[in-house]
Amino acid sequence: MFYVIGLGLADERDITVKGLETVRRCERVYLEAYTSILMVETERLEKFYERSVITADREMVETSSDEILKDADKVDVAFLVVGDPFGATTHTDLVLRARELGIPVEVIHNASIMNAAGCCGVQLYNFGQTVSIVFFHDNWRPDSFYERIRENRSIGLHTLCLLDIKVKEQSWENMARGRKIYEPPRYMTVNQCVDQLLEVEEKRGEKVYTEETLAVGIARVGSATQLVRAGTLAQLREVDFGAPLHSLVLLGSRLHYLEFDMLRQNAVDLKKLNEVIARDFPEK
């Protein structure tokens, strides 16, 4: 059997009981290590799971899937994913490849940022399309997320922004020269995300959002150091959210009074938050 197992959000203990029992009987255990990260070292996983863990980087998953799937029709193989197994399209592709090879597949789900984002204080059923915000480069500043945010906000829906991470990435020069030299890991912060969002708004000029738009920054969701801060984009730009991982929620207009109470509990500045609520949501 080929098992795709969600690990949850924070550390080695977030795996489900079903997932843990499965991992402990697998002959090989792979950890996908590029779409997201846990907040603990691999050694802690190995100690808790009582199994050696093979790190599977982007190159292995996307170009060497045969190595991962080898003999999975004869022995149990586990592929561990931070969050939920279907949080990234790469994992869907791996499941399809396994099935094409006649390998039975079982998926064991877990919590992910897609549902845990509700910790920001607003209700999940009023979220629209999720967008990814990638690091800008001098010659590459993609802004396709702008249309999706506009569509969400046009019907009052919130937008979950997933922030870029760069793990085992090569510079353009090293890639062009075929040198296996990798850049240090980088994790986008809420502050960098806001900078990029506002840069795109300034360029597009459609006022889909502004510095005064209400949003919530969240960091290290599911951990003991989880941080949630609500305020305007201008305010969140100045907050130190600490270590990764970070996400940002841009708020739409569909808000219940209880949601405002939740936002107030996490306000960067309660007076300013109340002013924005009174201005943008006068009926509330």
Residue list for the binding site for S-adenosyl-L-methionine:
9, 84, 87, 112-113, 163, 221, 246
Q: Which residues contact 284 (CB under 8 A, 6 or more apart)?
A: 255, 257, 260, 277
Give the C-alpha separation, 121 to 144, whole Å.
Answer: 27
Assess contact for 257 and 266: CB atoms under 8 A. Answer: no
Give the C-alpha separation, 73 to 101, whole Å.
Answer: 9
Give the C-alpha separation, 153 to 270, whole Å.
Answer: 24
Three-class SS state of 165: strand
Of residues 268, 218, 216, the one with CA closest to residue 244: 218
Q: Which residues are documented as binding site?
A: 9, 84, 87, 112-113, 163, 221, 246
Give the C-alpha separation, 103 to 199, whole Å.
Answer: 47
